[in-house]
Chains A and B, each alone.
Chain A
Amino acid sequence: MTEKPKIAIYGLGACAGCDQTVVDLNEILLQLAETVDIVLWPLAMDFKLSRIQAMQDGEVALSILSGAVINSDHHEMAALLRRKSRIVLAMGTCACFGGVPGLANFCGREEMFNQVYRDAPTVTNPDGVRPQPETDVGGRKLTLPEFSGHVFTLDQVIDTDYYLPGCPPPPALIGNAITAVLAGDLPPKGSSLAPRKALCDTCPRNSRKPGRMDIRYFRRIHEVDADPDECFLAAGIVCLGPATRSGCGEACIRINVPCRGCFGPVPGGVGSAPKFLSTLTSLLTVERDDEIEEAIDSLPDPAGYLYRFCQPSSILGRKSLREEEAEA
């Protein structure tokens, strides 16, 4: 009997939502378990790190890694699984573009730690305790992974073969990706295993889009009673559909919530933020300086809106620990 291909599923700086979507494969997962050997999946089964370390290099057919790379443990596990795997798939927006944790890069390490361990209204920490990489407790040394000081995407830390964006990616796309890898039916390295169109192309509201937008100020979805069939942007509600890759099944749009951009940029763009920024301002029809300022000021935290899922992969936010990437 030939050996079944080995698959590893691991979450780095992730919320486990991506892992949960693998669970949502339901019956497909049972069929998959017949054809592959899942050697690592902490969400669903016990595993020993030493077992992975003892494997031959390249022994694992596919590693599916979700989450951003935030601390020393993530760096080590990403490097280990890269070494042991023939194909590495970055699953989910955090692994692909940095995701919501990547917003941490908008403040430095100190500011972030102050907020999380001192200033947040829910924090009670009179002694100012901060996590330490090493602590002596009763003569024993306890260790914690150390924060990198920066949130990285997976491909800024290890060579990454394929990408599957989404927060989380829909189960169907995950199923397709795994099937494609097992069948060896893959696009060129570096491809995203998701549709290539922009979300507006598949949006059910597109037919109601006016020929010319007339936005005079921005509104947020909770401030209005949005028409469930009308184009959000036409109503001045910020929707990142024009600059975001489709493939999510319009999950947010269908529950009357505008696109926030979790699928990342359409192919060919360095991040969706600059594209969307240009789109958004071109839709504003106000003319005088004071009107322009008032209209744009009506969008609170524009950087947070535009870079919600992609700060670490953005032009200004990106940093790479890989030499060839850093030079590019």
Chain B
Amino acid sequence: MEPYDPKIVCFSCNFGWGYLSGEEALGAVISNWIPVICTGKIDTRHILKAFKAGADGVLILGCPEGHCHFQDGNYQTRKKAYLIRKVLGAFGIEPERLDMELAIDPEGKKIPQLLARMKRRLAELGPVKITGDVR
């Protein structure tokens, strides 16, 4: 049996993360990476669909407080993420599978490190098991 390799979907804000490296260069080394114009643009459905499609974790990388290019998209998503975590728990998905980091990393060097750190945590949790599956 192959060792368990957790899959992470990573959304990151274009204004704070990796904009100096370019999407193609970073996309080549980061799988399931979705750069967005602002973390406020991430819909709740995108996060839920990622888990439904088989993601073991979702990582959101936003700008620090006060640095949002669009006033407060990071703040809006921070509130949303807290409530989504509680909802995920009801479906049997551990809340820590949704993580959010607010910082600035123009070259995006930290992204693979953050993903590796999250992978280690997810490996301890094992694959997602959604409650109420058909026998």
Contacts and interface: CB of A to CB of B under 8 A. Distances in A.
A257 interface: no
Contacts of B93: 316
Contact of A282 (B45, B76, B84, B130): B76
A303 B134 CA distance: 20
Interface of A is mostly: helix
Interface stretch (B31-39, B46-54, B56-64, B106-114): B46-54
A109 interface: yes
Interface string A297-328: 00000111011000000111101000000000
B124 interface: no
Interface residues of B, number: 28
A284 B78 CA distance: 11
Contacts of B78: 289, 292
B87 A108 contact: no
A17 interface: no
B134 A319 contact: yes
Interface string B111-135: 0000000000000000000111111
A275 B83 CA distance: 13
Nearest to A278: B44
A106 B43 contact: no
A289 B79 CA distance: 8
Contacts of A307: 87, 90
Nearest to A112: B132
A66 B8 CA distance: 40
Given A278-B44, A315-B49, A104 B132 contact: yes
Interface residues of A, number: 35
Contact of A278 (B43, B134, B135): B43
Contacts of B83: 277, 280-281, 296, 302
Given A150-B133, A277-B87, A303-B90, A296 B82 contact: yes
A316 B79 contact: no
A149 interface: yes
Contact of A302 (B48, B76, B87, B131): B87
- The list of the 6 closest CB pairs from A to B, nearest first, reads A303-B90, A105-B132, A274-B44, A281-B79, A149-B135, A315-B48
27 contacts: A105-B131, A108-B133, A150-B132, A150-B133, A270-B45, A274-B45, A275-B44, A277-B44, A277-B80, A277-B84, A278-B43, A278-B44, A281-B79, A281-B80, A281-B83, A282-B79, A287-B75, A289-B78, A292-B78, A292-B79, A293-B82, A296-B86, A303-B86, A315-B45, A316-B130, A317-B130, A319-B133
Given A281-B76, A292-B78, 15 more contacts: A104-B132, A105-B132, A106-B91, A108-B133, A273-B87, A274-B44, A275-B45, A278-B80, A281-B80, A282-B76, A296-B79, A296-B86, A316-B48, A316-B52, A316-B130
Interface of A: 104-109, 148-151, 270, 273-275, 277-278, 280-282, 284, 287, 289, 292-293, 296, 302-304, 306-307, 314-317, 319
